[in-house]
Amino acid sequence: MSSKINGQVSPHSCSHLLQFRRRNGPDSFRALQDCLRVKPPGGRASIRRDPAEVPCCQACGESGSNRLYACVTCAAVSCHAPQLTSHAAAHAQSMSPGHEIAVDVDRAELFCCECRDQVYDQGFDAAFVLAQNTATTTTGSTLMQYSAEPGNLRKRRRVDYRHWSPDSRECVTMTNLSTPLYDSTNSSDVPWGLRGLNNLGNTCFMNSVLQALLHTPLLRNYFLSDRHNRYHCQQKNVANNDGKNGRLCLACDVDAMFSAVFSGDRTPYSPAKFLYSWWQHAANLASYEQQDAHEFFISMLHRIHEKEEKDQGKPHSQGSGDCCIAHRVFSGILRSDVMCMACGFTSTTYDPCIDFPLDLEPNRGGSAKSSSTKSHNSCNVEAERISLNKDCSISTLKGCLERFTRPERLGSDQKFFCQKCQVRQECLKQMSIRKLPLVSCFHIKRFEHSSIRKMSRKVDGHLQFPFSLDMAPYLSSSILRSRFGHRIFPFDGDEQDAPNDLSSEFELFAVVTHTGRLDAGHYVTYLRFSNQWYKCDDAWITQVSENIVRAAQGYMMFYVQKMLCYRASEK
Amino acid sequence: MELQDLQESVNIKMIQSGEKERLKDLLRERLAECGWEDEMRALCRGFMRNKVTNSVKLDDLINEITPKGKETVPDNVKAELLQRIRSFIAYAV
Ligand SMILES: [Zn+2]
Ligand SMILES: [Zn+2]
Ligand SMILES: [Zn+2]
Ligand SMILES: [Zn+2]
Ligand SMILES: [Zn+2]
Ligand SMILES: [Zn+2]
């Protein structure tokens, strides 16, 4: 007799548990809930009457090696070793009936000593999840140190890299049927396609993002393999008799730019045609004012998507992997669980995302000063930076991601309508990543725009970011496993384990940085080729050391799935 | 002092000082890193799948998996824990 909760099959209850519930009513486990102790890191739970209690078996004094169970009826603690001694089973038999159900004191899980099996109670598990969430949300800072990573030792199951070079027949075919983009005898040690972009008047916001996109492996391969041919595209637009606006295609301009940048010409390139097109696409943004690099990134991907959707004449869905090139590369799916604090009912939604917006951690060189009562106009940015330098604690990208996926208690002004309670209730929200994009862009929210005070300000402060990143801990499957474990709890339990762990490993390849003030700052991009970093500062390209990159003030970080970037250095 | 009493008193000291919890956390972390946890999960799944009936009891599962689990804890993990326990004893007793 299994029943369904929110579409999930729940295990049957044994007759002993049913009897216990019948005798004690709906609040059968109330007393137990008061003994529930949840340890902040990871949120593991145990049962202790007081924090210092050292539980041991009442019959034999055992406190170490075997499982210890506390009888939920009389609180007697007994040991239990499967098939060996079980004072728990003995207790249940000697006190029979009514003392069968016990709780594992180190796991806070219910057990029937008579059936010798785990049993589940929805009310108890709901109380557990609420207690766990309260513990993890109130003691956030301890979560940070827990993440101190001891190196990823997980076994690699990558497909081996095999070098391919064309045989003589293939060589002939290639030379006869193609024109090389550049002279391959040109033996410069600057990587192919690395070319400065001229500043066309406060356009470093654009150049910085273009540099990252031009060297996003999947975009580069797409355009260089002629998947969006600008000549064909324009012919098609003319044939379709599209109006002037119909002929606009940002992907065509990107295609032209890829050709120019990978032509072998090393002199700085002026993306004037691209800029002009972009202005036409985004007429309302056309101005020589400094723009935000992230807004540019988003709007550019959006234009590419729009055009393709229009051409194909059918709506695309961003997260599905069956969309425009922009979304195929950058789009992932976020999962959000909103849980009613009164009854535990959880509603789950999935939303496509094109990047991960992350807040700098508070009290860690980030927006700590937002709590101060000083007025924040742009002229005290300098003063703020000085005060920040005193703060020596460091924020990390992993810390930001942990905060991003941590349960968050929404304020009383953000109550949601609980379907079960049928009223608006306070709630707990948790985000996780259902599907990872092939390229993850992390957007550090350094600019705060307040429409009320009609001003913006920049959040300075250093953020450490790793060169390799394992995203596994932030996947919905991991988040749900660590949050619910094997509790029965009303959540949408269709999260599979990640298909394999290799797709969760990412490598950094581009960092867009911002220096200086909000209104008069400058964007620079660092790009990685094999293990060498290059600084792309508009027209100037220079080799830099890793340390310069690590010290830079990251604004947007681009990571690509490791399995997609075989690097020469990793042979 | 009898060996058993000594073991018991060390155990209680470890619990009271919180060292036991820390060791458990460390062990859990190490076992997850080295893939042991994933392996155990796979073993459990395999065990359940091979059962004809749908009801595998927790006790059966623990019986079946525990010996394999104990065998496959990597030596370096054991060594690290042993070292931690040694230094705790040296410090506490
Ligand atoms: Zn009892
Ligand atoms: Zn006992
Ligand atoms: Zn039972
Ligand atoms: Zn086009
Ligand atoms: Zn799209
Ligand atoms: Zn509710």
Query: Per DSSP, which regions of A366-504 are E strands?
Result: 395-396, 408-409, 416-418, 423-425, 427-435, 439-444, 447-450, 455-458, 463-464, 468-470
Q: Look at residue A393 in the predicted model and tell me its pLDDT.
A: 59
pLDDT tens digits along A412-459: 788 888 888 888 888 889 999 998 999 999 999 887 765 555 566 777
Distance of residue B40 Cα from the nearest chain A Cα, in angstroms? 14
Taking only the tens place, the pLDDT of each residue in B8-23 is 788 888 888 888 888 8
Tell me, in angstroms, the distance from the centre of ligand 5 to residue B36's CA.
40
Residues within 5 Å of ion ligand 2 by Cβ?
A: A 57, 59-60, 62, 79, 87
Nearest to A437 by CA among A353, A498, A500, A496: A353
What is the mean predicted confidence (pLDDT) over B33-54? 83
Q: Which residue has the higher pLDDT, A156 or B38?
A: B38
What pLDDT score does A489 carry? 52
Kindly identify the ligand whose nearest atom is closest to the C-alpha of A344: 6
A94, two tokens: 């000697």
Structure tokens at A279: 């202005």
pLDDT at residue A539 in the model: 93
Q: What is the pLDDT of residue A143?
A: 29
**Contact assessment for residue A76 and residue A39, using Cβ atoms and an 8 Å cutoff:** no
- Residue of chain B nearest A12, judged by CA positions: B55
Helical residues (DSSP H) of A371-450, grouped into ranges: 381-390, 397-404
Ligand nearest to the CA of A254: 4
Q: Tell me the C-alpha distance between A91 and A107, whole Å.
A: 20
Catalytic-role residue among A35, A115, A522, A565 = A522
Residues forming a β-bridge with A337 = A348, A430
Closest to A403 (Cα-Cα) out of A137, A151, A167? A137
Q: How far is A41 from chain B (nearest CA, A)?
A: 9
Beta-carbon-side half-sphere exposure of residue A275 (alpha carbons within 13 Å) = 20
Contacts 24+ apart (CB under 8 A), A362-367: A363/A141, A363/A391, A363/A393, A364/A391, A364/A393, A364/A394, A364/A395, A364/A399, A364/A461, A365/A391, A365/A393, A365/A394, A365/A395, A365/A461, A365/A462, A365/A463, A366/A395, A366/A459, A366/A461, A367/A448, A367/A459, A367/A461
Which residue in A has a C-alpha nearest to residue B38's C-alpha? A154
Task: Decide if A522 is catalytic.
Answer: yes
Q: What is the mean pLDDT of chain B?
A: 85
pTM: 0.64
Tokens read off for A314: 């059918």
What's phi and psi for A534, nearest 5 deg? -125, 140
**Burial per residue of A99-133, b for 16 or more beta-carbon CB atoms within 10 angstroms, e otherwise:** bbbbbbbbbbbbbbbbbbbbbbbbebbbbbbbbbb
Chain B nearest-CA distance from A349, in A, is 28
Q: Inter-chain contact A154–B33, Cβ cutoff 8 Å?
A: yes
Phi, psi of A10 (to 5 degrees): -105, 145
Q: Which CATH code is given to the segment(s) B35-93? A: 1.10.246.140
pLDDT of chain A, 571 residues: tens digit per residue: 344 444 445 566 788 888 888 888 767 777 777 787 777 655 677 888 777 777 888 888 777 677 899 998 888 899 998 777 889 999 998 887 889 999 998 888 889 988 888 888 877 777 777 676 665 554 333 222 222 333 333 333 445 566 778 888 888 887 887 766 555 555 567 788 899 999 988 889 999 999 999 999 999 999 998 889 888 888 888 777 666 666 678 899 999 999 999 888 889 999 998 988 888 776 655 454 557 899 899 989 988 888 877 777 766 666 666 788 999 999 999 999 888 888 778 888 889 999 999 988 665 444 433 333 333 343 334 334 434 444 445 789 999 999 899 888 887 788 888 888 888 888 889 999 998 999 999 999 887 765 555 566 777 788 999 999 999 889 988 888 777 666 655 444 455 544 445 578 999 999 999 988 777 789 999 999 888 999 999 999 999 999 999 999 999 999 999 877 655 444 3
Domain borders along chain B are: 35-93
What distance in Å separates the CA atoms of residue A189 and residue A541, rounded to the nearest whole number?
Answer: 13
pLDDT at A356: 94
Strand order through the sheet with A332-340: A346-353, A332-340, A427-435, A408-409
Residue B59: partners with Cβ closer than 8 Å, 6 or more residues away? A82, A83, A116, A117
One-letter amino acid at A470 equals: D
Ligand nearest to the CA of A338: 6
pLDDT of residue A270: 94
pLDDT for the residue numbered A188:
61
Distance CA A278, CA A274 (A): 6
pLDDT by residue (tens digit) across A166-187? 888 888 887 887 766 555 555 5
- For residue A41, what is the nearest residue in chain B, using CA coordinates? B25
State the smallest CA–CA distance between residue A74 and chain B in angstroms.
23
Model pLDDT for residues B45-77, shown as the tens digit of each residue:
888 887 766 678 888 888 889 999 999 999 999
Q: Is A112 a catalytic residue?
A: no
Give residue A567 CA to ligand 3 midpoint distance, Å: 57
Smallest CA-to-CA distance from A302 within A543, A285, A288, A236 is with A285
DSSP reduced 3-state for A144:
helix
d(CA A536, CA A268): 11
Closest CA to A566 of A512, A525, A510, A505: A505
Residues of A in contact with B15 (CB under 8 A): 54, 63
In angstroms, the CA A427 to CA A348 distance is 13
Distance A307 CA to ligand 5 centre (A): 9
pLDDT score, position A144: 28
B35 CB within 8 Å of a chain A CB: yes
Q: Is the peptide bond before A97 cis (omega within 30 degrees of 0)?
A: yes
